[in-house]
Structure 1
Amino acid sequence: MTKVFIVEDDPLFGRALQQGLQKDNNLEITVFNSGTQFLQNLTLNPDIVVADYNLPDMSGIEVLKKVSEYNPEIKRIIISGQEDVNVVVKAYKNGAQDYIIKNTSAIVELSNSIGNFSSNVNLRKEVDDLRSLIIDRSKYQQVIGESKAVLSVLRLLQKIEKTNMMVLITGESGTGKEVISKVIHFNSLRKRENFVPVNMAAIPQELIESELFGHEKGAFTGADGKRIGKFEEANRGTIFLDEIGEMDVQLQTKLLRVLQESTITRVGSNKEIALDVRVLAATNKNLAELVKQGKFREDLFYRLQGFLIHLPPLRERGNDVILLAKHFLKECSAKFQVGAKSYSHDAIQELLNYSWPGNIRELKSVVERAAIISESSEIQSEDLIFSAVM
């Protein structure tokens, strides 16, 4: 099924296009009445976008530029009542891949154009499906594990490599959300630009707006000079908003505007600054539940979910525990200069039987302690000190 989004402000013409194109059972057609409404739904990932040249809130060319920036593989068509050659050339120069004139044969011509693009889209999807079965582990050396849950995460990472999609990473504390965010950035088209992590839970509420968006001199007591915020620091790169569920509702409103407009305003200034930043966010909270409780904006929740990656807890990853434990032990041997060590059979069983409430972070701490206190080259079960009751 090929997903087609049409951006057309004339409801009658939009309905006519939808009805005409839906005769093809292989097309899923959605019509939007404005560029703004369409862009709010771009993360639903259409295969083909058809935009009217003249829209009430922005031009069709602006729409296609946004589409191309988001994912250049989405096919882009302009439909217009203008037959001026200069207009047609301008459309092609700005990302249109076809230009359809609004006349009596428009629906037929558009149907043919979509049909041609659809064949390419379906072929690409088949190739992508085959590629998704093959994982290039050299790109993901920081992700240790061979469990089905981890391989599923790696396949998702492959799918978003070449996109600028917003990504929400969920999972319990200690499951490796920041590691995954770095993997996303350093395998993306922005890998040569800044990666800026921000722990929302670690910043006092009274300072967080300044930390994110910057401030001008004299904006508040103690603001002795101008300072750029984390978003400006991440311009052309990636910002990682960790523990986003800790953000208060007032700041959520400002963040939503930044995501929608791609601009920020420093504290103490009225000047908008245009930015090009990819946003990755993470949380160990149930955001859907926070939305129900009125503690998290519903529109921001859906905006952040451009692409969702859930990281499984360590207790659900089977033998990955041992792979990780061996990896951390090798690191410890060099870090603490304790010599090469291994695990006894009993120690391995202890590691497998423990529930790991602190996940990977806790495992690393347990291994580090064991590496230091162990008096032989083989770590025994008594060297493993767990923080929770088994």
Structure 2
Amino acid sequence: MWLFLVTQGAGYAYICHINSKLKIYQMSVYNIFIVEDDEWYGKILEYHFTLNPDYKVTRFTTAKDLLNNLHLQPDLITIDFSLPDMAGDKLYQKIREINSQIPVIVVSGQENITVAVNLLKMGVSDYMVKDDATKDLLWNSIIRIRENQNLKQEVAHLKEELRQKFTFEKSMIGQSDALKSVFGKMEKATKTNINVSVTGETGTGKELVAKAIHYNSDRRKGTFVPVNMAAIPKELVESELFGYEKGAFTGANARKTGKFEEANGGTIFLDEIAELDLSVQSKLLRVLQEREVIRVGGNDKIKLDIRLIIATHKNLAEEVKSGNFREDLYYRIMGLPIELPPLRDRGNDVLILAKFFADEFSRQNKLGTITITKDAKDKLMRYQFPGNIRELKAIIDLASVMCDNNEITAGDITFNSIRREEGFAMEKKTLRQYTCDIIKYYLKKNNNDVVATADELDMGKSTIYKMIQSGEIA
């Protein structure tokens, strides 16, 4: 590793070469407290550290003086283990009680392995013995500690950026009543650690909801771990979720941490959970009940502190009835249900999203402002969007490329859905047949709730009952 300073206006920067990687950090005043009862040795350390103009060094000769000045919030402390008024381990404990975030380096006049091990277990950042090389060792240790602090600050900054990015209004664009209802439930979800189940058609934004809940909750400092159950081969699901020990099976050449361990202290998002095999469902249930996981091939129980969010485009209640999903697991994971409306039921949100995607595509490709004509908007509003938001984005991206003069017209809008729309294609049918199709569509949408369907279609429920009884609606 090599290090040198560069002056930069009124401040400094240091360039640090570590493991063949070049890193440049903006310098600011770094406050170091030295606790050393040997005045001569303390002055040597102070002189050595202040060779870096970025370091501000304050010396103390007793533990009491240090503790009385901890309110000044130093960035790092070095302490002599054998102080006249307090042993180093006791002083470290008191520092931790006041501010557990300050890194501490312990310097000792004697080489005692037991003391060193105990201090490192307690959490000191480094331990070293006084000798001719101590000054250089301390210098390198401070650089390493400060680099770690910078990295932690960067991570914290990135997580805050993620939290801002995943505010509800930014994560899901729209103003419809259906979406506002979703926001209300998401807001409730952020206030507790209750499990959340997100349902909705493919492309409605289930993972965005999960991320927004995580980054707006108390768990935002933890990790968000998404797992797509449909993308993992059946035989690998257990080891992927729970991890495995070295030698657990052929090819297990090293220990692997599972997704649940990765999410400890944060949130695990199990997408398409209906695809989970019944044999693994029972093991998942045990993990959720006991709040602990055992790696495949291991015996150690690892305690978990996680928030579970699941998602599926299937009706889990129907999956339970058909024997494809465990009933006890169903009740364990459902928690707070959030159902995402399909795009076709969100009214003017289609146009709001279309404008958003056009602006985003324009910005990324430096195309200038793209407008959408009235005939293009009308065409979008008439479409059913079986692929939901994901399909709309693809449509607008293509239209932004195909349009002339940065103006999207109806002719630039191309629908290439590979799925048959759940709308009503204009086939040769009688009015009665179209009526039956419409009622069937809304019955399916309302989970065969006749009353809700009658209210939505503004027709008598007795009419629907008669059509069902007569066999017109199967």
2:391 and 2:168 map into 1 onto residues whose CA distance is: 25
8 Å Cα contact 1:338/1:372 also seen in 2: no
| 1:222 to partner: Cα distance | 1.5
What is the aligned partner in structure 1 of residue 345 from structure 2?
A: 316
Take 1:140 and 1:346, find their aligned partners in 2: how far apart are those partners? 28
For the 8 Å contact 2:167–2:212, the answer to whether it is kept is no
Q: Does structure 1 residue 297 correspond to structure 2 residue 326?
A: yes
Secondary structure, aligned partner of 1:211: helix
Q: 1:230 Cα shift?
A: 0.6
- CA distance 1:138–1:291, change in 2 (3 Å): closer
Equivalent residue for 2:199, pick from 155, 167, 170: 170
Query: Given residue 290 of structure 2, which amino acid in structure 1 is its aligned partner?
Result: E
**2:297 corresponds to which of 257, 265, 268:** 268
What is the aligned counterpart of 2:182 among 153, 156, 176? 153
Residue 145 to residue 157, structure 1, CA distance change in 2 (3 Å): same
CA distance in 2, matches of 1:138, 1:225: 39
**1:333 aligns with one of 362, 370, 373:** 362
Q: Counterparts of 1:246-257 in structure 2 under 5 Å?
A: 246-257=275-286
Paired with 2:244 and 2:284, the residues of 1 have a C-alpha distance of: 16
Residue 305 of structure 2 aligns to a residue whose secondary structure is: coil
State the secondary structure of the residue aligned to 2:209: helix
Paired residue for 1:189, among 218, 240, 243? 218
For residue 311 of structure 1, report the CA deviation from its aligned partner. 0.3
Post-superposition offset of 1:139: 4.7
The letter of the residue matching 2:389 is I
Q: 2-side partners of 1:257 and 1:273: how far apart? A: 13
* CA deviation after TM superposition for structure 1 residue 337, in Å: 2.6
The letter for the 1-side match of 2:196 is: V
| 1:147/1:318 contact within 8 Å kept | yes
Regions of 4+ moved over 6 Å: none
- Which amino acid letter does the alignment assign opposite residue 147 of structure 1? S
- In the aligned structure 2, how far is the partner of 1:314 from the partner of 1:152? 14
| Residue number in structure 1 paired with 2:306 | 277
Of 189, 204, 209, the residue aligned with 2:233 is: 204
Once the two structures are TM-superposed, the CA of residue 271 in structure 1 deviates from its matched residue by 1.6
Taking a change above 3 Å as real, the CA distance of residues 138 and 167 of structure 1, as seen in their structure-2 partners, is closer
2:170 pairs, out of 133, 138, 141, with: 141
Structure 1 position 338, deviation (Å): 2.4
Contact residue 336 and residue 372 of structure 1 kept, 8 A: no
**Structure 2 segments unaligned to the other structure (5+ residues):** 1-165, 426-474
Task: Report how far residue 375 of structure 1 moved.
Answer: 2.3
When Rg is computed on C-alpha atoms for both structures, the one with the higher figure is: 2
Amino acid at match of 1:368: D
Amino acid at match of 2:401: I
Work out the CA distance in 1 between the residues paired with 2:194 and 2:167.
23
**Counterpart in the other structure of 2:244:** 215
Shift of 1:138: 5.7
Q: TM-score, normalised by structure 2?
A: 0.52
> Residue 261 and residue 138 in structure 1: after superposition, are their counterparts in 2 closer, same or farther (change >3 A)?
closer
SS at match of 2:190: coil
One-letter identity of the residue aligned with 1:213 = F
Give the number of the structure with larger relative contact order, counting CA–CA contacts within 8 Å between residues 6 or more apart. 1
Given that 1:343 and 1:379 are in contact with CA atoms closer than 8 Å, whether structure 2 keeps it comes out as yes
Alpha-carbon separation, structure 2, partners of 1:201 and 1:264? 22
Report the residue type matching 2:171 in the other structure: Q
Could you tell me whether the CA contact under 8 Å between 1:339 and 1:377 is conserved in 2?
A: yes
- Pick one of 397, 400, 412 that aligns with 1:371: 400
TM-score by length of 1: 0.64
Query: Which 5+ residue runs of structure 1 have no aligned equivalent?
Result: 1-136
Query: In the alignment, is the contact (CA less than 8 A) between 1:256 and 1:300 conserved in 2?
Result: yes
Amino acid of the structure 2 residue aligned with 1:367: I
What residue number does 1:16 align with?
none
Count of equivalent residues: 254
Q: CA RMSD in A?
A: 1.3
Q: What percentage of aligned pairs have identical amino acids?
A: 54
Structure 1 residue 246, shift from structure 2 partner: 0.4
2:110 maps to what in 1? none
One-letter amino acid of the counterpart of residue 200, structure 1:
M
